[in-house]
Amino acid sequence: MGGGGGGTATAATRVRAARFVLCFVHRHFWGCTMQPWRSFVFLAAALLGATGTATAAIVFSDDTMSTALFSSNPTYVTSGVTVSSSTVGGVLQTDTGSMTGQTSYGFVAGHLYSSFVYDPVVSGAVTSIDFSLDRGAASYFNANNAGVAGITLRVLIEQNGHLYQYVGPLLAYSVSPDLSPYSVTGLLATDFGEWSTATNVVDLGSNPDFAAGPMEFGFATRVGPTTNTVSDTVELVTFADNFRLEVNQVPEPATVWLILTALGALGLTRRRQLL
């Protein structure tokens, strides 16, 4: 399991940029050995370099799919369905077991990672999210695998006690145990809707806040609802592997503050020279 990588400016980068600001101010107030425009160009380059580091994507990834990594498993099930998840050969498997006596079954099983948390207040607002996951599913009718009509890619966010879900378009037909890689890039806050595990409704009018409040990330798998006879014995299974989510950031406030400080210092220096 790979954890989240560092995407904010490192302490060393911030220190170098801050020292450059102080040096800039010192030189222009108490004697300058460099032309002001040249000094400002070098300062801007240093700050832009710091900004480049600050906006690197933070990556959360998991290729073990251990159930011990999940803090919670929010799930929607149709009447008469229960699900359980386990790791089989490094693949997360969510299974209903055998069911009979109804004409339709289905579920959406969510998994939130306890350590995959991003706080926009601390690390900077989020511009977008990129996501990929290997997915598969199967529908067994009377012990025969009928496959599923399609796969949907689903991203979960928990924020301030609310669950939000991105639901992708219906993808290719799948037959267990095949796993296929699926991905999506550039997800915005408006692509996520608040998800009710009671009704399975995703309300796109209610979105997560990409600028405030810690966000815990995860995914969901879905299969069903099926259409079968009452006498059919049905078992539904989903498979998932190789979770990867990238958080793309806007420039952090500290970098913007440094740039404004530099501009202010240049303005004061210019005013002092004119007096």
Tell me what the mean pLDDT of segment 49-54 comes to: 48
Closest CA to 249 of 124, 92, 131: 124
Render pLDDT for 238-259 as a digit per residue (tens, 0 to 9). Answer: 999 999 999 999 865 555 555 5
Residue 200: pLDDT band with limits 50, 70, 90: very high
pTM, two decimals, is 0.74
- Cα 126–58–125 angle (5° rounding)? 15
Cα separation, 165 vs 179, whole angstroms: 22
Q: Which domains does the chain have, with CATH numbers?
A: 11-55+253-274 (no CATH), 58-249 (2.60.120)
Closest CA to 17 of 68, 55, 51, 60: 51
Render pLDDT for 113-127 as a digit per residue (tens, 0 to 9). Answer: 999 999 999 999 999
More confident residue, 259 or 181: 181
Cα separation, 17 vs 232, whole angstroms: 68
Residue 14: pLDDT band with limits 50, 70, 90: very low
